[in-house]
Amino acid sequence: MATYLDDTQRKALARLATSWTWRTQWPTWTLIVTIYSGWFGVATHARDFGLPLTTVLLALFGTWYMSLQHELLHGHPTRSPFVNALLGVAPLAVWFPYGVYRDSHLQHHDDPHLTNPQRDPESYFVSHRMWQRAPRPIRMLLMLRNTFIGRLLVGPAFAIAASGVDAFRKINRGDWRDVPAWLAHFAMLAALTFWLQRSCGIPAWVFILGAGYGSLSLGSIRSFQEHRAAHACEHRTVINEAAWCWRLLFLNNNYHLVHHDLPHVPWFALRQVYETSRQHYIDRSGGFLVKGYSEWFRLYVFAPVASPVYGDLSRLIPNDPTASRRFAGKLRVKFMVVVRQGELHEADLPTPAARQTARQAL
């Protein structure tokens, strides 16, 4: 369901939808040809490139392919879910069946329940009950996952494990609807892996762990602090003004609030929609703006961006987690200081200068 800023935007998008680019979706068709030809071009020239470069390139194309799958499940480039599924069913990124990912992601778009681990399958939070029951090593891994480096290293492992657990739980409940998708996925994956090893000289472990896990790891850069816990659901989704290379790799999904408000808008129009109403979207997000993924890296490469426990809105790290510095002074954020024996102390401070004063006092 679309959420427009106002009736003017609604009418402007209706006019834009009649344009030749929107009607033909030629940028998306071009993207499909580019990704498939690039992926298979790298694979068939693996012996020329060598395994290290081949692995990196396959991971890069795999990440781009996952961005394409995201576009396909939102109804592009055709209006036919069946045709779009055919375009995204190949296991080029290894891990998840397209149909399972599609259903899970559409559930994630239930915005009133964003970040709730009981309702949002893409939440990076856990319930208080799970946190209390988790052994210390798991707690440490959950904290690590909320750092930038941890999201790359262990984030994919958590996602793979969660998908497997969810699949088995459904079967245990007598829900077999996803089983055909998983079986078809494994069959295609086995055939693709056999072809890569036999014809291209790419060992199975290199494809599965190097290219496959690498794709998820690179893709997890986009999802880092993509959503935060906030009382207003429109304040939970980020606007990331990323560089052009990241925008292309993630198909403008860095303008994530715009995508959640208008999921029917194709990737090639998201930036235009955002730039036309930039200040409106910044205000709507509650100032949840970041100036590129390098800002997340700089602030949270080794520091957790938030507590893993859902509902602890105060458990944030004191490095301006809500917005870029130019907007930080307009916001009041809470932060957490980790002290000896894992205790949490929080404060409510209005500005970066005040937060610095508090740190010195501590």
pLDDT per residue as tens digits for the range 245-295:
999 999 999 999 999 999 999 999 999 999 999 999 999 999 999 999 999
Do 324 and 289 touch, CB atoms closer than 8 A?
yes
Residue 95 lies inside a defined structural domain of this protein? yes
Does residue 288 fall inside a structural domain? no
Q: Are residues 145 and 51 in the same domain?
A: yes
Helix 155-172 × helix 213-223 angle, to 10°: 100
Q: How many domains does the chain have?
A: 2
- 330 and 287 Cβ atoms separated by less than 8 Å: yes
- Are 79 and 225 in a shared domain? yes
Note down the domain range covering 310. Answer: 303-361
User: What CA–CA distance (Å, rounded) separates 141 from 154?
Assistant: 8
| Residue 41, domain member (yes or no) | yes
Residues 218 and 330 in one domain: no
Tell me the average pLDDT of the chain. Answer: 86
Q: Are 210 and 58 in contact (CB under 8 A)?
A: yes
- Shared domain for 210 and 316, answered yes or no, is no
105, 114 Cβ separation under 8 angstroms: no
Nearest CA-CA partner of 124 in 112, 110, 141:
141
pTM: 0.84
pLDDT of residue 217: 96
pLDDT digits (tens, 9 = 90+) for 308-334: 998 765 444 444 444 344 333 333 333
What sign results for the dihedral spanned by CA atoms 70, 72, 73, 75? positive
Both 332 and 198 in one domain: the answer is no
Domain boundary among 229, 246, 275: 229
Q: Is residue 240 part of a domain?
A: no
CA distance 131 to 129: 5
Using CA atoms, how far apart are residues 226 and 360, in angstroms rounded to an integer? 30
User: Is 207 found in the same domain as 114?
Assistant: yes
Q: Are residues 61 and 160 in the same domain?
A: yes
In the chain, which ranges are E strands? 239-240, 289-290, 333-338, 344-349
Of the candidates 165, 199, 229, which is a domain's last residue? 229
